């Protein structure tokens, strides 16, 4: 049978039969990428907004750095986090290597610059006249920042969408720091690599389809949020 | 009683001096117009009054308090000032939310409903609460901007060209609301405009700015009755010519403008003078008319400009005179370039310096 068709049927079967291993992998994928993106947003949105709204020496250098880091190769991030967490590394005593926490740290390193970068441009592109208006109407600096974040909400959701897409789809970093250990650190992308290497193409395709479905559902929810926010 | 005192105020942007050594007093309850062509420094001046920018030198006292104070105190002062900007921007939210915003950031939550309703009624936009502000027309948006600046009951209202680019109906609505707020609620109004007629019709006091400097300031009646040369040539609206005046009887002089033009002017001045004739004060006709007016000049139409509801013509009578008539009259007289016309104006409508 055609491996793609076979993969489709397999994906459907794995989902409806509530295959415990596949569901375990799915939930770990969601947990790792979800936490990484949420932490990335918590750190990245205020950082991006602060940098966009303030003038300081080295601002352009910082922005160039962020823009470069938005395109960090996940393998390089994986290598870097591996060295950090390996038993001879500075964080070695925490014994985090080959745990989901290590994978979250790696994906956070990938997601955060994306959130910072997109927030920077979203906040920076809010009309300066809006700032004047908010100040003139009596906003404090903090209220002004909140107002501008609210005005750029469309861009902020875009930042989260892009960061989640980058995190959930990368394989290099989680492979290196997670190790693709069955029942422990195996996520959808590393499972696909593994099944492909075994020649289990239909399983690999099934997992690929599940990954796409998952990404679509999350993005659909975020897009709903984005456009209902726009109308408000 | 002085509310805003401006002392030796200068603002420099990079190389450009936007305002130069301005001294001005604005009293509580004044309707103050700041008049000047674009680039004169009007916006810069209003931004400084709104405490959005800081002066390069000089100072602004608000109710006796020096505004070069810590940001917290500046915020408290700024919260007493409402400003309508020339560029119309709205928060991406409903009209109601846009009006609630200034109250919400002041922590006046319990007043929001009542004040928003009152203010919407004042600007004639009751029923617009749920509309998204960004979908409004230019005139409606400007009225929402005005409502935003009024909703927190400011003691000073700053207006930067509030009616530029608006249709006549919205212009008169905005002028009426501002006058009401000034009269009924005692709000001090400072309005920047390039339109002398608007300043003359609405304001009680006026300051004239040119290239960042204060040319003159005072009561509207005073400033406009003795026009300075700048005011006369301002925006090309006045006809200003040098000439030689000879008194023919007490209070009446014949002024020789050269090019065979002699006009009679009500003045006691003689010798070298400058005469000013407002384009609106000149009657235009296609045949000579019988009237009490002492001056009738024959000429040829050389230029026609469309000014919205008005038409401005240049008529060569030996010298070029600018004349403003309504579009209706223009059509009625069937005027074209090269049309022969008569200019009629009273000796008493001429200002002589």
A132 close to B90: Cβ distance less than 8 angstroms: no
- Residue A80: which H helix or E strand, with range? helix A74-85
Distance, CA of B53 to CA of B143 (rounded, Å): 25
> Best of B89, B95, B148 to disrupt the A interface by mutation (most A CBs within 10 Å)?
B89
B196 and B254 fall within a common domain: no
Q: Which of residues 105-134 of B touch A (CB under 8 A)?
A: 105-106, 132
B225 and B247 fall within a common domain: no
pLDDT at A2 over 50: yes
Q: What CATH number labels A3-231? A: 1.10.3720.10
CATH label of the domain that carries residue B282: 2.40.50.100
Query: Which pTM value belongs to this model?
Result: 0.75
B225 and B315 fall within a common domain: no
% of chain B residues with pLDDT over 70: 95
CB atoms within 10 A of CB B335: 20
Contact A140 B83 (CB under 8 A): no
Nearest CA to B178 out of B164, B188, B165, B169 is that of: B188
pLDDT at B233 over 60: no
Q: Please list the alpha-helical segments (H only) found in A86-200.
A: 100-124, 128-136, 141-151, 153-169, 172-178, 188-197
Domain enclosing residue B334, as ranges: 238-352
| Cα nearest neighbour of B75 on chain A | A138
ipTM of the shown complex:
0.79
Contact B79 A138 (CB under 8 A): yes
Segment B196-204 mean pLDDT:
83
Domain count within chain B: 2
B154 and B285 fall within a common domain: no
CATH label of the domain that carries residue B24: 3.40.50.300
Q: What is the pLDDT of residues B106-135, one digit of tens each?
A: 999 999 999 999 999 999 999 999 999 999
B136 and B242 fall within a common domain: no
How far does B340 lie from chain A, in Å, by closest CA?
A: 50
Distance, CA of B92 to CA of A230 (rounded, Å): 8
Q: Does A5 touch chain B (CB under 8 A)?
A: no
Last residue of a domain, one of B233, B268, B301: B233
Q: What is the pLDDT of residues B131-167, one digit of tens each?
A: 999 999 999 999 999 999 999 999 999 999 999 878 8
B217 and B257 fall within a common domain: no
A132 neighbourhood in chain B, CB within 8 Å = 47, 52, 85
Q: Which two tokens stand for residue B274?
A: 């400058």
Write down the domain spans for chain A.
3-231
Q: Which of residues 147-176 of A touch B (CB under 8 A)?
A: 147, 150-151
How far does B338 lie from chain A, in Å, by closest CA?
A: 48
Q: What is the pLDDT of residues B291-339, one digit of tens each?
A: 888 899 999 999 888 776 778 889 999 888 989 888 888 888 888 888 8
User: Of A224-228, B66-70, B214-218, where does the model show the most confidence?
Assistant: B66-70
> Best of B91, B97, B155 to disrupt the A interface by mutation (most A CBs within 10 Å)?
B91
- pLDDT recorded at residue A170: 96
B158 and B101 fall within a common domain: yes
- pLDDT recorded at residue A229: 65
B223 and B251 fall within a common domain: no
A81 close to A98: Cβ distance less than 8 angstroms: no
Q: What is the pLDDT of residues A108-128, one digit of tens each?
A: 999 999 999 999 999 999 999
pLDDT at A197 over 50: yes
Q: Count CA atoms within 13 Å of residue B291 on its CB side.
A: 17
B79 close to B152: Cβ distance less than 8 angstroms: yes
- pLDDT recorded at residue A137: 97
B51 and B180 fall within a common domain: yes
B192 and B330 fall within a common domain: no
In whole angstroms, how far apart are CA B308 and each of A105, A174, B164, B190, B326?
A: 65, 68, 12, 26, 9
List all residues 6 or more positions away from B171 whose beta carbon is below 8 Å from its beta carbon: B163
- pLDDT recorded at residue B235: 44
| Locus of tokens 């489709």 | A8
B226 and B275 fall within a common domain: no
- How many contacts, defined by CB atoms under 8 Å, are there between A and B? 52
B58 and B135 fall within a common domain: yes
């Amino acid at each position: 049978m055609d491996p793609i068709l076979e993969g489709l049927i397999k994906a459907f079967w794995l989902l409806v039969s509530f295959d415990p291993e596949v569901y375990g992998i799915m939930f770990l994928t969601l947990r790792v990428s979800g936490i990484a993106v949420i932490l990335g947003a918590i750190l990245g949105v205020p950082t991006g907004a602060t940098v966009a709204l303030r003038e300081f020496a080295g601002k352009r250098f910082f922005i160039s750095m962020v823009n470069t880091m938005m395109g960090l190769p996940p393998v390089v991030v994986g290598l870097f986090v591996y060295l950090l967490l390996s038993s001879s590394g500075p964080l070695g005593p925490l014994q985090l290597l080959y745990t989901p926490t290590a994978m979250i740290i790696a994906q956070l390193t990938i997601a955060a610059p994306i959130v910072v970068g997109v927030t920077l441009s979203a906040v920076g592109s809010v009309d300066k006249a809006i700032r004047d208006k908010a100040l003139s109407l009596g906003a404090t600096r903090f209220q002004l920042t909140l107002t501008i974040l609210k005005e750029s909400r469309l861009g902020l959701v875009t930042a989260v969408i892009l960061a989640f897409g980058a995190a959930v789809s990368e394989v290099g970093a989680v492979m290196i720091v997670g190790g693709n250990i069955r029942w422990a650190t195996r996520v959808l992308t590393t499972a696909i690599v593994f099944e492909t290497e075994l020649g289990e193409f239909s399983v690999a395709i099934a997992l690929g389809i599940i990954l796409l479905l998952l990404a679509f559902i999350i993005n659909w929810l975020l897009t709903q949020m984005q456009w209902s926010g726009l109308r408000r | 009683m002085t509310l805003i005192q401006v002392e030796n105020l200068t603002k420099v942007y990079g190389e450009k001096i936007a305002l130069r050594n301005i001294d001005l007093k604005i009293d509580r309850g004044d309707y103050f117009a700041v008049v000047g062509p674009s680039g004169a420094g009007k916006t810069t001046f209003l931004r400084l009054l709104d405490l959005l920018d800081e002066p390069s030198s000089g100072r602004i006292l608000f109710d006796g308090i020096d505004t070069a104070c810590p940001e917290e105190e500046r915020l408290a002062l700024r919260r007493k000032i409402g400003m309508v900007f020339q560029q119309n921007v709205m928060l991406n939210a409903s009209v109601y939310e846009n009006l609630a915003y200034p109250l919400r950031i002041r922590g006046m939550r319990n007043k929001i409903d009542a004040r928003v309703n009152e203010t919407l009624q004042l600007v004639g936009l009751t029923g617009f609460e749920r509309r998204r502000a960004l979908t409004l027309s230019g005139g409606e948006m400007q009225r929402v901007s005005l409502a935003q600046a009024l909703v927190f009951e400011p003691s000073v209202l700053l207006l930067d060209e509030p009616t530029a680019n608006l249709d006549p109906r919205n212009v008169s609505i905005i002028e009426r609301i501002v006058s009401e707020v000034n009269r009924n609620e005692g709000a001090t109004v400072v309005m920047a405009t390039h339109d002398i007629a608007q300043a003359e019709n609405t304001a009680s006091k006026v300051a004239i700015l040119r290239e960042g400097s204060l040319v003159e300031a005072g009561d509207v009646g005073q400033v406009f009755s003795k026009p300075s040369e700048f005011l006369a040539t301002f925006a090309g609206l006045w006809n200003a010519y040098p000439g030689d005046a000879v008194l023919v009887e007490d209070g009446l002089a014949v002024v020789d403008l050269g090019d065979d033009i002699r006009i009679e002017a009500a003045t006691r001045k003689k010798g070298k003078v400058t005469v000013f004739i407002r384009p609106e004060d000149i009657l235009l006709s296609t045949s000579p008319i019988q009237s009490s007016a002492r001056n009738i000049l024959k000429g040829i139409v050389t230029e026609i400009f469309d000014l919205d509801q008005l038409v401005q013509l240049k008529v060569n009578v030996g010298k070029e005179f600018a004349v403003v008539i309504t579009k209706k009259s223009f059509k009625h007289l069937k005027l074209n370039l090269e049309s022969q016309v008569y200019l009629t104006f009273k000796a008493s409508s001429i200002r002589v310096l």
